[in-house]
A and B are shown apart, each in its own frame.
Chain A
Amino acid sequence: MELKYLWILLIFTTYNALKAQSLNCNDIPDSLKEDADAVVRFDNTVVTIQNLNKVIIRHEYAITVLNENGNDYAEYYKSYDPMNVLNEATGVLYDAAGKKLRSVKKKEMTDEPYNDYISLTNDTRIKSFNFYYRTYPYTVVYTDEITQTNTFQLPYWKPILGTNCSVMQSRFQVAYPNSKPIQYKILKASIIQFDSSDNSNTKTYTWQLSGYKSSPYEPLQPNRFERNPYVFIGATHFQLQNYKGSMDSWNNYGKFINELNSNRNQLPEVIQQQVHQIVDSLSTRQQKIIALYQFMQKNTRYINITLGIGGWQPYDCAYVANNKYGDCKALSNYMVALLNEAGIKAYYVLINATDNHFPFFHDFPNAYFNHATVCVPNVNGADTLWLECTDATMPAGYVSDFTDDRDALMITDTGGVIVHTPIYSINQNQESRMVQATLNEKGDLIAQVHARYEAQPSDAFHELLNFYTPEKIQEYYNRSFSLPTYTVSHIQLKEEKKVIPVVNESFDIQINGYASVTGKRLFIKPNIFDRWQQKLEPDENRTNNIVINKNFVQSDTIYIAVPSEYEVESLPQPIQLNTQFGSYNIAFSFNHHTIQVIRKQVSIKQELPANTYGDLVNYYNTISNADVNQMVLVKKAN
């Protein structure tokens, strides 16, 4: 009774708050309109945890769109599924003076299945709506309510909706019974106000952000979790359908995953026999791991089916064995079972894959993972091996940039353990190229190119080799270079599938008119292939840190034989730069009718303070200019 009363009270108070707020666009402070395409007028989220199986999430927000570029902010887009029931959704459109123009109800909105382009099927649907109003400024107000039937993954607060969007006021309120404690994590706490209140049975936390001025996009900026304020919450003791667990520590969270995954690792007998046929004749542990990983790759494919608890719980091993497919959870669970059958201890790992991923908080256990993978920890000094089970072509132990260099949760028999995935260093991410070319008088160039790519630089070639037909590879080469008119032939790609994979590449290329001819002169840019493309604009108001997201070393040696009657008229100066961002060297020479270029660029993965941006601009722009420096040859006077 008590709770219900509180609930009614909450609706009542927020409702009044909305009524009281004027939506006249003149009420937006000028400072918030500056450089902004849209302004959040108010944004109130109220999360009411009634019990572990029922959470009500009420969301009301008003956004004023100031110009054409802000229109995306006026679109309503809400996903829901059987575990997150959308009770209501409404939208109202207001003009510049705050006068109501029209409204829309849930049933008038577009309702369609959510297409993530990877799932065979899922049970998520999308309600969406757009007024397509285009008289600026205008304001939209949307309200919705979701009933969530679990407490495993509670909503989080993201007051900054995007770049060029200011916030007048945004608030996140969570009410929970004292008996069902929650935990939270705040990012950028310094700009957030916090409040809490108690009554006999419930506790309420309120976070608020006011008067936030929009920020523009900046190149090489850190991801949104580093730039913007967020509040994440979690139920310390939670329930997911009939499963109960605790998030008071990562270890306990891991125990819950063990429970969720229990009895799903039984391999069919025929597979058990196959495992033994494969490994019993192999002598080393490493050989066994690789053989079983390859068996998994050969006999499964990635198919994602996300229905109900299937979004969290893997399909069992029999399902994978019979269908020969599964999602990341099912395939990882299967891989662990295969290794266990061979007596090799391996673990299921929860992780956030891809680049712009959710951060891992050591002090805040939570359920925001988007991927599962497998770790085979080291024993007796051998390297730890990571096995990406959704990829049928990767070498065992290599994770590329899909899951590299990040914390993850390994689910051991005794619970969750935090681990870190491999970092690809400058010694590993190597690319080296040797070009031997001949130039004729017309400026046509014929070259033989040999290159070696290690670790991440090899990824693109791995993809060509494994997913392209020879015809398509040919087509790819013939369109992917920025060269005048050219033809590539004799393409050879050879892959060494190792923990640090290597691809050796060789091809011949004929480039017509590579050098331009004017009278007795030949103009040529001798650095043919590796040209730095990332030019940056100076920005004195840079606010964000700079993220350089890859380690790599790129080395080029180029020889171009030119007709013997030519001599050098103009030779570019050598350049040597050693900076905190990395280093760059290029040197040009001419001997025995041959141009020689030696180039080396080293990039260091790191995050640097905003005040180094000016130096980085200079560095990148110097490199990109040096890479296209031209050389002039002139026919000797007889």
Chain B
Amino acid sequence: MKWVSKLLLLAVFCSANVIYAQKSKENLKFGQIKPSDFDPTFYSVDSSAGAVYLFNNGKSSYVGNNDGFFSVVYEQHTRIRFMNKNGFGVATVNIPVYISDDYQTKLISLEASTFNLENGQVVETKLDKSALYTEVNHDETIYKFTFPNVKEGSIAEFQIKLNLPSYYFMPDWDFQQSYPVLYSSYEVNVPYFFNYAIIKKGIQDYVLDTATDVREQYYIRDKRNGATLGGNTLAVSTQATKHIWAMKNVPAFHAQPFMTSADNYVSGIEFQLSEIRMPEEDVEKVAQSWNKVSEQLLNNPYFGLELKYDNTWLKDDIQTATANATNNLEKVQGIFAFVRNNYNCIDHSSRLLSQPLKKVVQTRKGNVADINMVLTAMLKQVGLEAYPVILSTRHHEKVLRDYPVMHKFNYVITRVVVDDVNYYLDASRKYVGFNQLPEYCYNGFAREINDKDPILLRFDADSLKEYEMDMVQLKPDLANHTLNLSVNKTFGNIESQNARGIIMSTSLDAYMKAMQNQYNIPVQLTDVHADNLKELDDPLKLQFTAALNLNDDKDIIYLNPMLSDRILENPFTAQQRIYPIEMPYCPNQTYIFEMEVPDGYMVDELPKSARVQLNANEGSFEYIIVNKNNHIQMRCRLLMNKANFSPEDYATLRDFYAFIVQKESEQIVLKKNKTLPKP
């Protein structure tokens, strides 16, 4: 390792040992539990919590290692109070550690005990070593135990120390947990050689947020063969930064509806190595600029390396896929459909390839990166401008606008340019059409990876419009005592994808049966005709008819013109909201209804027409109904111009939907025309 010699050099200059005593404010030693710790019968942060973290403190520090460089030691000390049986779930602790051939996380120590107050005395029950279980998975090992002798009121704590063998990984920290936390701190010590970007998440305030310059000494040995140090220990004294962050009285985190990944909101802190600053060397920017990251990704065999090659071996598939194409756009459409229809995606969360492209092509299966990289490679191979685009899906975290924090990305799509028009393609989903993306891709920023200028892209739910159109006609048939219904339904892209999925995995018949049950009156949907069921690029259309019972033996007929597709319940059930509201898309739904009033009847009452706006122009709902010469026409439209709302908008949004639900429940009243003789 070239850095070792540089460190040697440094050691000569920094021979003086400066020792700083470290003292933490929360210097609570393992096992120091007093009888008075058992006094509280509840904690004000949440008086009904089943368990409370009395404290949860972590520390990550660089140390010199035996391989001639640095590694990180991670320590955690967690003390829990069990208030009642509902909190006993936290008594079982899982410690997952990453293990691979070249990355062996080591558990250096683990201590765990339960403390109970018995006759005024604190009695400790230690975790028996035989009750620490190890579960080996393919890339991680999970250490598992459950605290012994746990009762309501018990205090339990564990302390672990892990050795993380590399210099480039700093563990993240969550201050917020699924139970309330009275105090949580995280201390991070980084020598001058490394610089980290620090990313804070969540809405809770810090009580401590400090960075102090200290002088630290690191002891580096190199026990490997042919080591530069020849078996000697190198003492490196250098400036280091000691960060401490802490939070107090952090409430438990509960996920809420209309929330993308909870990871966006749990209070925590994350790290990304940005620079390595070795003495006498230029600063190495690890991941600062997107240009650099892009370059690395394009040279990475698990990402874009194969895009550089002339992949002539793809030519047979390309030929099959573009056999009928007469221009570039048709070629792209052909290749996209070929990949989508012939490949199977077995993992929809990956930013990296799982295998070489040849293997993907051979087995016709892979993760989303594999499949869309094959797509990109095929498009490039026919001479088109095509690039991989990385993003993060809605159930994953959001990515940062500018800073390349790679683990936040979990998805790859393709951008292709044909005649100066951009197309965004995802061939990993069976029912997603050309230039469409699944709704979960609409999660904010994305980045195109290219060798010139990696472009910042944005896929926002605010921009995803879901058009939907229902045209409903009712014609009386007095001879048969029926109202004949005919419906023309056009789905939006998202709903088309969902409906196709259901129809393909069950049947159109089963799908219609389910739809039939959504009607507000008993109906039998017949003469069903589906358009574009297999033409995935176009919206799905359904046409069908039904004969409704006219009930013309009655003097009065009541009928809700919203025969189906009503919003029956307010989706915003809670009264309050502290987190933003993130809806998946902006609905643009139109329902058009026409009806001839049966002979012998007249309109007694119609719902009132109405129109409401949501916050000026963020959305609108209109319900227009008129009767002209016994011909009723109604148009109901819900239009949202935004999908993301701040918590302050919650009450307005809830009221807006309350209005819609109520309006859509209104009914038409027809009365037998007494002036005419009965037929």
A206 to chain B, nearest CB (A): 37
In the complex, which residues of chain A have a beta carbon less than 8 angstroms from the beta carbon of B48?
469-471
User: Does B558 count as interface, using CB distance less than 8 angstroms?
Assistant: yes
- Cβ-defined partner of A513 (8 Å) among B131, B607, B661: B661
- Cβ-defined partner of B605 (8 Å) among A112, A485, A519: A519
Q: Name the interface residues of A122-137: CB closer than 8 Å to any CB of B.
A: 130, 132-134
* Selected interface stretch from A319-327, A382-390, A598-606: A319-327
Whether the pair A323, B346 counts as a contact (CB closer than 8 A) is no
Whether the pair B568, A484 counts as a contact (CB closer than 8 A) is yes
Alpha-carbon gap, A630 to B365, bound state (A): 54
Question: Which residue of chain A has the shortest Cβ distance to B520 in the bound complex?
Answer: A628
Alpha-carbon gap, A478 to B570, bound state (A): 11
In the complex, which residues of chain A have a beta carbon less than 8 angstroms from the beta carbon of B125?
322
Alpha-carbon gap, A625 to B49, bound state (A): 43
Whether the pair B605, A521 counts as a contact (CB closer than 8 A) is yes
User: Does A190 count as interface, using CB distance less than 8 angstroms?
Assistant: no
Question: Which residue of chain B has the shortest Cβ distance to A519 in the bound complex?
Answer: B605
Q: Name the interface residues of B26-57: CB closer than 8 Å to any CB of A.
A: 46, 48-50
In the complex, which residues of chain A have a beta carbon less than 8 angstroms from the beta carbon of B573?
478-479
* Selected interface stretch from B101-109, B147-155, B444-452: B147-155
User: Does A487 count as interface, using CB distance less than 8 angstroms?
Assistant: yes
Whether the pair A324, B669 counts as a contact (CB closer than 8 A) is no
User: Does A569 count as interface, using CB distance less than 8 angstroms?
Assistant: yes
User: Does B517 count as interface, using CB distance less than 8 angstroms?
Assistant: yes
User: Does A574 count as interface, using CB distance less than 8 angstroms?
Assistant: no
B70 to chain A, nearest CB (A): 33
**Interface residues as binary, A295-335 with B (CB distance below 8 Å gives 1, 0 otherwise):** 00011010101000000000000000011110000000000
A92 to chain B, nearest CB (A): 14
Whether the pair B517, A513 counts as a contact (CB closer than 8 A) is no
Whether the pair A113, B136 counts as a contact (CB closer than 8 A) is yes
User: Does A417 count as interface, using CB distance less than 8 angstroms?
Assistant: no
Whether the pair B606, A518 counts as a contact (CB closer than 8 A) is yes
Whether the pair A475, B574 counts as a contact (CB closer than 8 A) is yes
A541 to chain B, nearest CB (A): 14
Whether the pair B135, A111 counts as a contact (CB closer than 8 A) is no
Alpha-carbon gap, A149 to B245, bound state (A): 55
User: Does B575 count as interface, using CB distance less than 8 angstroms?
Assistant: yes
Whether the pair B570, A322 counts as a contact (CB closer than 8 A) is no
How many A-B Cβ pairs are below 8 Å? 131
Whether the pair B568, A323 counts as a contact (CB closer than 8 A) is no
Q: Name the interface residues of A228-273: CB closer than 8 Å to any CB of B.
A: none
Q: Name the interface residues of B606-660: CB closer than 8 Å to any CB of A.
A: 606-608, 654, 657-658
In the complex, which residues of chain A have a beta carbon less than 8 angstroms from the beta carbon of B666?
516-518, 523
Whether the pair B133, A120 counts as a contact (CB closer than 8 A) is yes
Alpha-carbon gap, A401 to B522, bound state (A): 34
Interface residues of A, count at CB 8 A: 55
A637 to chain B, nearest CB (A): 13
Whether the pair A120, B146 counts as a contact (CB closer than 8 A) is yes
User: Does A578 count as interface, using CB distance less than 8 angstroms?
Assistant: no
Question: Which residue of chain B has the shortest Cβ distance to A302 in the bound complex?
Answer: B88
- Cβ-defined partner of B513 (8 Å) among A121, A467, A469, A537: A537
Whether the pair A485, B150 counts as a contact (CB closer than 8 A) is no
Alpha-carbon gap, A325 to B154, bound state (A): 14
User: Does A520 count as interface, using CB distance less than 8 angstroms?
Assistant: yes
Whether the pair B344, A132 counts as a contact (CB closer than 8 A) is yes
Whether the pair B570, A569 counts as a contact (CB closer than 8 A) is no
User: Does B556 count as interface, using CB distance less than 8 angstroms?
Assistant: yes
Query: Which of B49, B365, B569, B662 has the largest number of chain A CB atoms within 10 A?
Result: B662
- Cβ-defined partner of A121 (8 Å) among B144, B152, B558, B605: B144
Alpha-carbon gap, A482 to B661, bound state (A): 12
Whether the pair A392, B85 counts as a contact (CB closer than 8 A) is yes
User: Does B488 count as interface, using CB distance less than 8 angstroms?
Assistant: no
Whether the pair A518, B150 counts as a contact (CB closer than 8 A) is no
Whether the pair A485, B137 counts as a contact (CB closer than 8 A) is no
Whether the pair A484, B658 counts as a contact (CB closer than 8 A) is yes
Alpha-carbon gap, A479 to B256, bound state (A): 12
**Interface residues as binary, A566-585 with B (CB distance below 8 Å gives 1, 0 otherwise):** 00011000000000000000
- Cβ-defined partner of B556 (8 Å) among A120, A392, A512, A570: A570
User: Does B5 count as interface, using CB distance less than 8 angstroms?
Assistant: no
Whether the pair A523, B570 counts as a contact (CB closer than 8 A) is no
B9 to chain A, nearest CB (A): 48
In the complex, which residues of chain B have a beta carbon less than 8 angstroms from the beta carbon of A227?
none
In the complex, which residues of chain B have a beta carbon less than 8 angstroms from the beta carbon of A482?
568-569
In the complex, which residues of chain A have a beta carbon less than 8 angstroms from the beta carbon of B138?
110-112
**Interface residues as binary, A376-413 with B (CB distance below 8 Å gives 1, 0 otherwise):** 00000000000000001100000000000000000000
- Cβ-defined partner of B558 (8 Å) among A298, A324, A443, A523: A523
User: Does B673 count as interface, using CB distance less than 8 angstroms?
Assistant: no
On whether A301 and B85 interact (CB within 8 A), knowing A324-B149, A469-B49, the answer reads yes
Question: Which residue of chain A has the shortest Cβ distance to B252 in the bound complex?
Answer: A469
Whether the pair B558, A484 counts as a contact (CB closer than 8 A) is no
In the complex, which residues of chain B have a beta carbon less than 8 angstroms from the beta carbon of A487?
575
Question: Which residue of chain B has the shortest Cβ distance to A111 in the bound complex?
Answer: B138
User: Does B395 count as interface, using CB distance less than 8 angstroms?
Assistant: no
In the complex, which residues of chain A have a beta carbon less than 8 angstroms from the beta carbon of B607?
518
Alpha-carbon gap, A490 to B575, bound state (A): 15
User: Does B408 count as interface, using CB distance less than 8 angstroms?
Assistant: no
On whether A484 and B569 interact (CB within 8 A), knowing A516-B666, A516-B667, A630-B558, the answer reads yes
In the complex, which residues of chain A have a beta carbon less than 8 angstroms from the beta carbon of B137?
112-113
Alpha-carbon gap, A516 to B344, bound state (A): 49
In the complex, which residues of chain A have a beta carbon less than 8 angstroms from the beta carbon of B50?
469
User: Does A618 count as interface, using CB distance less than 8 angstroms?
Assistant: no
User: Does B15 count as interface, using CB distance less than 8 angstroms?
Assistant: no
A110 to chain B, nearest CB (A): 8
Alpha-carbon gap, A323 to B127, bound state (A): 9
Whether the pair B88, A512 counts as a contact (CB closer than 8 A) is no
Whether the pair A521, B665 counts as a contact (CB closer than 8 A) is no
On whether A322 and B149 interact (CB within 8 A), knowing A132-B346, A134-B364, the answer reads yes
In the complex, which residues of chain B have a beta carbon less than 8 angstroms from the beta carbon of A325?
146, 148, 150
In the complex, which residues of chain B have a beta carbon less than 8 angstroms from the beta carbon of A608?
none
Alpha-carbon gap, A120 to B608, bound state (A): 61
Whether the pair B605, A120 counts as a contact (CB closer than 8 A) is no
- Cβ-defined partner of A570 (8 Å) among B49, B513, B558, B608: B558
On whether A299 and B151 interact (CB within 8 A), knowing A112-B138, A485-B570, the answer reads yes
Question: Which residue of chain A has the shortest Cβ distance to B134 in the bound complex?
Answer: A121
In the complex, which residues of chain A have a beta carbon less than 8 angstroms from the beta carbon of B152?
298
Question: Which residue of chain B has the shortest Cβ distance to A442 in the bound complex?
Answer: B662
- Cβ-defined partner of B661 (8 Å) among A469, A485, A521, A630: A485
User: Does A483 count as interface, using CB distance less than 8 angstroms?
Assistant: yes
User: Does B312 count as interface, using CB distance less than 8 angstroms?
Assistant: no
On whether A513 and B344 interact (CB within 8 A), knowing A485-B657, A537-B513, the answer reads no
On whether A323 and B556 interact (CB within 8 A), knowing A482-B568, A512-B658, A537-B513, the answer reads no
Q: Name the interface residues of A541-587: CB closer than 8 Å to any CB of B.
A: 569-570
Whether the pair B148, A518 counts as a contact (CB closer than 8 A) is no
User: Does B121 count as interface, using CB distance less than 8 angstroms?
Assistant: no
In the complex, which residues of chain B have a beta carbon less than 8 angstroms from the beta carbon of A523?
558, 665-667
- Cβ-defined partner of B346 (8 Å) among A130, A519, A535: A130
User: Does B91 count as interface, using CB distance less than 8 angstroms?
Assistant: yes
User: Does A607 count as interface, using CB distance less than 8 angstroms?
Assistant: no
Alpha-carbon gap, A111 to B666, bound state (A): 58
Question: Which residue of chain B has the shortest Cβ distance to A392 in the bound complex?
Answer: B85
- Cβ-defined partner of B517 (8 Å) among A301, A324, A520, A535: A535
User: Does B92 count as interface, using CB distance less than 8 angstroms?
Assistant: yes
Whether the pair B92, A303 counts as a contact (CB closer than 8 A) is yes
User: Does A632 count as interface, using CB distance less than 8 angstroms?
Assistant: yes
> What would 19 A/B residue contacts be, using CB atoms closer than 8 Å?
A113-B136, A121-B133, A130-B346, A132-B346, A133-B364, A298-B152, A301-B150, A323-B148, A324-B151, A466-B85, A469-B50, A478-B575, A482-B568, A484-B658, A487-B575, A518-B669, A519-B605, A519-B606, A521-B669
Told that A133-B364, A621-B522 touch, could you supply 9 new A-B pairs with CB distance under 8 A? A112-B137, A132-B364, A323-B148, A469-B49, A469-B50, A516-B667, A518-B667, A523-B666, A632-B556
Top 3 nearest A-B pairs (CB, nearest first) are A513-B662, A516-B665, A485-B658
